[in-house]
Structure 1
Amino acid sequence: MSWSFEVTPVDHPDAAQLLREYLDEIASRYYGRQVPEEELDTLLEQHHSRDLVPPTGAFLLAYRDGVLAGCAGVRGATPEIAELTRVFLRKSERGRGGAALLVAAAEDVARGLGATSIRLDTRSDLVEARALYARLGYDEVERFNDNPLAHYFFSKSLVQALSDRV
């Protein structure tokens, strides 16, 4: 099983498709029902990803054995702090070790943007995400934004993480 990651423009058709799948799953879980296409279109516009572009951000596509499998976004919150967002693997790709590799690839992109730490927020119902971030060395921190949908906040030093990998 071979995983690869590629920084891709958010308006690329594969990126747009994965962002749609991501938001469909996230919104459907939140509302406890399947989100209709028209509502999903509105949500995609409201929660756009247009800021995940160089020089202050990036959007990664994940491939397993050459097949599109997932995505992650990185945006610069400050010159030293990056934010991890839009982390998503298709259901068929989960449980194969790709999530940890995808987050590591996003952390490498954040380092390339000059960040020395990375942070994220997540909801209380996304228990799998919270478990993943804790397993990957993210520490729970105080709220750092006013996102009303976020219940948990995490941060990780990228300097320490880099030295741990050497």
Structure 2
Amino acid sequence: MTRMTWTFSPERVDTPDATALRRDYYGDVAGRYWQRPATEAEIDEGLANDGVELLAPPTGQFLVARFEGKPAGCGGVLMLDGERAELTRVFLRHGFRGAGGAGALLRRLEEEARDLGARRMVLNTRLDLVEARTLYARHGYAEIPAYCTGPYMDIWYGKEL
């Protein structure tokens, strides 16, 4: 019996795989919010000046998840201060969900945050992103008071690392 494998590697946000995954992520979350597919122009606009360049040491890290070598997902951590990192842009393409990658990606992102000096991970998400909220709760994240504000933030979570 062959075991399917996941790999997670730090990658610049502008590589072809990272760019395609970031576009898929934005298209997915924006489309769910608008309840219609996001256009290419809307995706371009949403990704413009989104601060993703901070997802590189020493301020953060961006990972590309691959399943059997195929780009399947991504995620980032952003240092907010000397002890807190924010989990951001966690995404698995729909065709790769259910294969254990989300939990493994989350654990690896937590390791990256610890390597950057974080002692606590925080995140914000929307109430309609039920799968994400379920993943975070399953991995020990608990609801916390809001630590930031924005138009697409409904609920905040935190976890000691």
Instruction: State whether structure 2 residue 21 is matched by structure 1 residue 21.
Output: no
Residue 128 of structure 1 is matched in structure 2 by 131
1:142 & 1:150 partners in 2: Cα distance? 12
Deviates further, 31-40 or 86-95 = 31-40
Equivalent residue for 1:109, pick from 109, 112, 118: 112
Q: Structure 1: give runs of 5+ residues left out of the alignment.
A: 159-166
1:104 & 1:116 partners in 2: Cα distance? 14
Equivalent residue for 2:100, pick from 97, 100, 103: 97
1:20 & 1:67 partners in 2: Cα distance? 16
Q: How large is the RMSD of aligned CA atoms in angstroms?
A: 0.9
Where 2:38 maps in the other structure, the secondary structure is coil
What does the per-residue CA deviation read over 1:95-119, in whole Å, with 9 as the maximum and x for residues that have no partner? 1111000000000000000000101
Q: Structure 2: give runs of 5+ residues left out of the alignment.
A: none
What does the per-residue CA deviation read over 1:28-71, in whole Å, with 9 as the maximum and x for residues that have no partner? 00001111111211111053412111111010000111111100
2:129 & 2:42 partners in 1: Cα distance? 21
1:11 & 1:37 partners in 2: Cα distance? 17
Residue 82 of structure 2 is matched in structure 1 by 79
2:55 & 2:94 partners in 1: Cα distance? 23
- Work out the number of aligned pairs and report it: 158
Residue 15 of structure 2 is matched in structure 1 by 12
Where 2:53 maps in the other structure, the secondary structure is coil
Residue 57 of structure 1 is matched in structure 2 by 60
1:3 & 1:35 partners in 2: Cα distance? 29
TM-score, scaled to structure 1: 0.93
* Displaced runs of 4 or more, over 4 A: none
Distance 1:117 1:151, change over 3 A: same
Residue 67 of structure 1 is matched in structure 2 by 70
2:42 & 2:135 partners in 1: Cα distance? 29
Instruction: State whether structure 2 residue 32 is matched by structure 1 residue 33.
Output: no
Q: Once the two structures are aligned, what percentage of the paired residues are identical?
A: 47
